[in-house]
A and B are shown apart, each in its own frame.
Chain A
Amino acid sequence: MPSNGSVSDAPITQFINCRILRDHKLQREDLWVREGRILDPEKLFFDELGYADERVDCEGSIIAPGFIDVQINGGYGIDFSRVSEDVSGGVSFVAKKILEHGVTSFCPTLVTSPAAIYHKVLPQVKVHNGGQHGAGVLGFHLEGPFISAEKKGAHPEQYLRTFRSGGVQDLTEVYGSLDNVAVVTLAPELANSQSVVRELSQRGITVSLGHSVANLSQAEEAVQHGASFITHLFNAMLPFHHRDPGIVGLLTSDQVPAGRTVYYGMIADGIHTNPAALRIAHRAHPSGLVLVTDAITAMGLPPGHHTLGQQVIEIQGLHAYVAGTKTLSGSIATMDMCVRHFKQASDLVLLDDAINVKATFISGEEVWRKEP
């Protein structure tokens, strides 16, 4: 029986027999959703005299907020950095497939590429909500080309750039329009980067520090200008040193402006970071940790050779290397693997105790369910 309609006539769904994550604990509670928003059932009962139209039995599963992947370069044969006939089709294909991993929103990531690629690819994908068709797109994550040559990792050296035209001008030259961009990774030690950090932050674009040899003061300065994220902590940056912690030092820096948090992405695939290092970072700054996959084209594909941007990658088991080298090139772990690995050290996901995704919901609507 629905409510008295004093607030809304939309149907109400009640998820029963589930455990939800609340106050940092798993609690046995029902979850109530209407029109894509989580409801306060007490308010519903006393104000609207209402209760659920539909009940979904979760059979004891854990309900978690849908996972958000802010660094994913492609998957299932799709490479976001490679211009194809149908860029938005490729993004949509991956968006649909990652629902199986419990990801309900993501930032398609472009690695360092020539300006031509950005100009072609960026306008073709708009920010949009998720649904039956796939996970929502929050905006692009542009990882490069304004990064350090020494810490390029798998990025192609010939396309790296500095802010030689003064800063903001370079952004327009290289990227074109920033309308559908959510995150930009850059190296703060590059000259003129501070004005860029400020400009991007003011536009609401998250500035992330990574692929950099910055020392702690350079990193802190960037944070003060608006940077708020670190791209795959520990990887592609100077290692922690007790007299100059570098970017890693931001986790416990006292120069972070009051009220702001520095978040850091970590690839918890068991390969990019030693679990002990993962734990050190988590214990130092637990509220800043963000799990990312940094998944590449080959995620979801069998072993062999594949392309990433302008380079060729080789898959060996769970490892992905730049072909012919031992340089790690992104990961092929899926988000639920990362969460599982991390646990062992509404948008919603139903999990069993081993953190296997059983079903994914967007705005309260089931968009994927595991075959029994």
Chain B
Amino acid sequence: MRGHMIRPDPVCSDKKLPALSTFCVFSFQESNTSSVQAVRCVLKLTMKLIILNDYDQASEWAAKYIRNKILLFRPGPSRYFTLGLPTGSTPLGCYKKLIEYYKNGEISFQYVKTFNMDEYVGLPRDHPESYHSFMWNNFFKHIDIKAENAHILDGNVADLQAECEAFEEKITAAGGIELFVGGIGPDGHIAFNEPGSSLVSRTRVKTLAKDTIMANARFFDGDLSKVPTMALTVGVGTVMDAKEVMILITGAHKAFALYKAIEEGVNHMWTVSAFQQHRQTVFVCDEDATLELRVKTVKYFKGMMHVHNKLVESLPQEPKKN
């Protein structure tokens, strides 16, 4: 039996919050357990704002969400789960949790393909600050992902343009991205799509904005001259093509960017705002990141947490490990 119920959100009648329209689509399917049923009664075509108390809880929620997505997908030798991945300090906690779930036997990355968002141009691959090194040290070396399934743009090839095009082709060949996980810069950028980037852009070479170089200087001994000035990055359009997008935003220094991204209009100066027009976006934040939002917005989404938390409940044990 299938039922559809569309309930217009009372909040969206408030003209000040046009971006937060939420449509609830319920579909009833035959399932055995109530939590699986709840997960399948998922709010589709949604923007969800998930607010946790602190960084650790936000990281854990995000990791559980990813874990459940992969498990429900049931990846296998002819059916890979494609995951887009970010770098930086924000996702570190999430990676640690995913590693923990792998070590517990809850999840395997054997049939997962990953595509990283970006990489510096001209930085040696084994430099401790390259995104290759970041992914190896913080994620890949701790899990069972196959090297040939971990894709990161190479910022040291002769033809950067060809590298970008090849990356787009690899994503297409893999069947598109199921879930793209990303972060947000203090200037509202996603990946290295700096303010002013086209919202339909594809993977390409970008010159980094001053804000970004300053934010990254702390990884290069505080020396601005050591920070690379160019990077290869997936485009806003590339991420928009993903079936689902999850943005991690933690810390007070990201609060203004979050406000611009979800309480103001879609604008290429705050490129994360493009995801207001994506079918299925999840913003996972901590309290500090909501400091610039309206109290009304925060209360509304906090009130939904009991529903959203069902998405991260442990799934029933399957006899066959994925």
Query: What is the CA–CA distance of A42 and B138 in the complex, to the nearest angstrom?
Result: 12
The residue in B136, B147, B152 that gathers the most chain A C-beta atoms within 10 A of its C-beta is B147
Residues of A within 8 A of B148 (CB): 49
Do residues B147 and A41 form an inter-chain contact, with CB atoms below 8 A? Answer: no
Do residues B136 and A42 form an inter-chain contact, with CB atoms below 8 A? Answer: yes
B268 at interface, CB cutoff 8 A: no
Residues of A within 8 A of B140 (CB): 45
Residues of A36-58 contacting chain B, CB below 8 A:
40-43, 45-46, 48-51
Do residues A42 and B126 form an inter-chain contact, with CB atoms below 8 A? Answer: yes
Do residues B136 and A46 form an inter-chain contact, with CB atoms below 8 A? Answer: yes
Considering only CB atoms, which chain B residue lies closest to A51 in the complex? B147
Residues of B within 8 A of A1 (CB): 146
A30 at interface, CB cutoff 8 A: yes
Do residues B125 and A46 form an inter-chain contact, with CB atoms below 8 A? Answer: yes
B141 at interface, CB cutoff 8 A: yes
Closest CB of chain B to A74's CB: distance in Å?
Answer: 45
The residue in B125, B141, B148 that gathers the most chain A C-beta atoms within 10 A of its C-beta is B141
Do residues A41 and B125 form an inter-chain contact, with CB atoms below 8 A? Answer: no
B67 at interface, CB cutoff 8 A: no
Closest CB of chain B to A28's CB: distance in Å?
Answer: 11
Considering only CB atoms, which chain A residue lies closest to B149 in the complex? A49
Do residues B147 and A40 form an inter-chain contact, with CB atoms below 8 A? Answer: no
Considering only CB atoms, which chain B residue lies closest to A49 in the complex? B147
Q: How large is the interface on B (under 10, 10 to 19, 20 to 34, 35 or more residues)?
A: 10 to 19
Closest CB of chain B to A52's CB: distance in Å?
Answer: 11
Closest CB of chain B to A308's CB: distance in Å?
Answer: 51
Do residues B126 and A40 form an inter-chain contact, with CB atoms below 8 A? Answer: yes
Residues of A within 8 A of B146 (CB): 1, 49
Query: What is the CA–CA distance of A312 and B182 in the complex, to the nearest angstrom?
Result: 76
B260 at interface, CB cutoff 8 A: no
Query: What is the CA–CA distance of A30 and B141 in the complex, to the nearest angstrom?
Result: 9
Considering only CB atoms, which chain B residue lies closest to A43 in the complex? B126
Considering only CB atoms, which chain B residue lies closest to A42 in the complex? B136
Considering only CB atoms, which chain B residue lies closest to A44 in the complex? B147
Do residues A41 and B141 form an inter-chain contact, with CB atoms below 8 A? Answer: yes
Query: What is the CA–CA distance of A49 and B136 in the complex, to the nearest angstrom?
Result: 12
B189 at interface, CB cutoff 8 A: no
Closest CB of chain A to B103's CB: distance in Å?
Answer: 11
B64 at interface, CB cutoff 8 A: no
Closest CB of chain B to A36's CB: distance in Å?
Answer: 22
Considering only CB atoms, which chain B residue lies closest to A29 in the complex? B141
Residues of B within 8 A of A48 (CB): 147
Query: What is the CA–CA distance of A48 and B146 in the complex, to the nearest angstrom?
Result: 11
The residue in A30, A40, A46, A48 that gathers the most chain B C-beta atoms within 10 A of its C-beta is A46
Residues of B within 8 A of A41 (CB): 136, 141
Residues of B117-149 contacting chain A, CB below 8 A:
125-126, 132-133, 136-137, 140-141, 146-148
Do residues B126 and A45 form an inter-chain contact, with CB atoms below 8 A? Answer: no
Query: What is the CA–CA distance of A29 and B90 in the complex, to the nearest angstrom?
Result: 23
Considering only CB atoms, which chain B residue lies closest to A41 in the complex? B141
Residues of A9-50 contacting chain B, CB below 8 A:
30, 40-43, 45-46, 48-50
Query: What is the CA–CA distance of A30 and B146 in the complex, to the nearest angstrom?
Result: 17
Do residues B141 and A46 form an inter-chain contact, with CB atoms below 8 A? Answer: no
Using an 8 Å CB-CB cutoff, how does the interface string of B137-180 with A read, 1 for contact, 0 for none? 10011000011101010000000000000000000000000000
Query: What is the CA–CA distance of A40 and B152 in the complex, to the nearest angstrom?
Result: 18
Query: What is the CA–CA distance of A40 and B141 in the complex, to the nearest angstrom?
Result: 12
Closest CB of chain A to B120's CB: distance in Å?
Answer: 15
Query: What is the CA–CA distance of A40 and B132 in the complex, to the nearest angstrom?
Result: 13
Residues of A within 8 A of B141 (CB): 30, 41-42, 45
Considering only CB atoms, which chain B residue lies closest to A1 in the complex? B146
Query: What is the CA–CA distance of A49 and B132 in the complex, to the nearest angstrom?
Result: 13
Do residues B132 and A50 form an inter-chain contact, with CB atoms below 8 A? Answer: no
Query: What is the CA–CA distance of A235 and B247 in the complex, to the nearest angstrom?
Result: 67
Query: What is the CA–CA distance of A46 and B125 in the complex, to the nearest angstrom?
Result: 9
Closest CB of chain B to A290's CB: distance in Å?
Answer: 30
Closest CB of chain B to A40's CB: distance in Å?
Answer: 7
Query: What is the CA–CA distance of A41 and B140 in the complex, to the nearest angstrom?
Result: 11
Query: What is the CA–CA distance of A46 and B137 in the complex, to the nearest angstrom?
Result: 12
Query: What is the CA–CA distance of A359 and B148 in the complex, to the nearest angstrom?
Result: 35
Closest CB of chain B to A231's CB: distance in Å?
Answer: 40
Considering only CB atoms, which chain B residue lies closest to A45 in the complex? B147
Known: A42-B136, A45-B140, A45-B141. A50 touches B147 (CB 8 A): yes
Residues of B within 8 A of A46 (CB): 125, 132, 136, 147, 152
Do residues B133 and A42 form an inter-chain contact, with CB atoms below 8 A? Answer: yes
Q: Can you list 28 A-B contacts with CB-CB less than 8 angstroms, sorted by A residue number? A: A1-B146, A30-B141, A40-B126, A41-B136, A41-B141, A42-B126, A42-B132, A42-B133, A42-B136, A42-B137, A42-B141, A43-B126, A45-B136, A45-B140, A45-B141, A45-B147, A45-B150, A46-B125, A46-B132, A46-B136, A46-B147, A46-B152, A48-B147, A49-B146, A49-B147, A49-B148, A50-B147, A51-B147
Lowest 5 A-B CB distances belong to which pairs? A49-B147, A42-B136, A45-B147, A49-B148, A46-B132
Q: A42-B136, A45-B140, A49-B148 are in contact. List 7 more A-B contacts (CB 8 A).
A: A42-B126, A42-B132, A42-B141, A43-B126, A46-B125, A50-B147, A51-B147
